[in-house]
Amino acid sequence: MNILITGGSCGLGKAIVYALSNSPGNKVFFTYNRHGDESDAIVRGKHNVIAIKCDFTNAGEICELEKAITTFDLDVLINNAYVGLPQGTYFHKTNPESFLKSFENNIIPIIRITQSAILGFRTKKFGKIINILTAALVNVPPMGYSTYASNKAYIMQLSKSWSYEYGKYNISSNCVSPDFMLTNLSETVDKRIVEQLKANHPLKKILTPEEVADVVAFLVGTSQHINGANIVINAGQNIL
């Protein structure tokens, strides 16, 4: 399969790149922004992995990626990259402009990239869209998460439209909503809070990117009958 993962240079995206590129039949494209050296290291020695520079805050680079997607003959798109940090301040102290900026940096690129991928999927009558959300959508969102959790809720809703509108073209759209993981995105979280999360966790351990990558790999390999799902990976801590 030909697979594009956004934000594959570190954290969860990198774990997904490794998990999927282990199958020799897969050709894995991934985007990066700041971690160019890290991306070079991922590609090194792997004949089936290609790194593409794309800054989601740069309209020109998104445009280049949209064009490139039409040449990839994609089977799978994994919307994983996130621009900015989840943790902000109280909602009433958040500048309304920052909601708009975050929407422009996170949602518009996903819309443009997914539109480009769907054009190809419709032609070949096959495609899989996998969107990385957050367990904060079902858990009580942590304080300061209003922008981040709202962006993820927007993507969840888009995914429902995609699964309904394109199911008849054999295109599925599913989501994966992981609990807290230790990555660059969470590096500003106080060590004491991390210890507290671990102590209160039913399994007494923090979820790893590799465990989430396994679930993404399952969705990549599974039936198109799985469409419109959101797999929450939170060890049953909150159940809707």
Ligand X SMILES: NC(=O)c1ccc[n+]([C@@H]2O[C@H](COP(=O)([O-])OP(=O)(O)OC[C@H]3O[C@@H](n4cnc5c(N)ncnc54)[C@H](OP(=O)(O)O)[C@@H]3O)[C@@H](O)[C@H]2O)c1
**Binding residues vs ligand X (CB under 6 A):** 7, 9-13, 32-35, 54-57, 80-83, 132, 134, 178, 180-181, 183-186
Nearest approach in angstroms of CB 168 to ligand X is 28
Q: Which is nearer to ligand X, 9 or 159 (CB)?
A: 9
Q: Which is nearer to ligand X, 170 or 215 (CB)?
A: 215
CA distance 103 to 147: 9
Nearest approach in angstroms of CB 164 to ligand X is 23
Nearest approach in angstroms of CB 125 to ligand X is 28
CA distance 13 to 19: 10
Q: Is the dihedral of CA 140, 141, 144, 149 positive or negative?
A: negative
Q: Which is nearer to ligand X, 29 or 180 (CB)?
A: 180
Q: Which is nearer to ligand X, 6 or 26 (CB)?
A: 6
Nearest position to ligand X, beta carbon:
11
CA distance 134 to 175: 9
Catalytic residue among 148, 164, 166, 169: 148
Nearest approach in angstroms of CB 78 to ligand X is 10
Active site annotation includes 166: no
Q: Which residues are catalytic?
A: 148
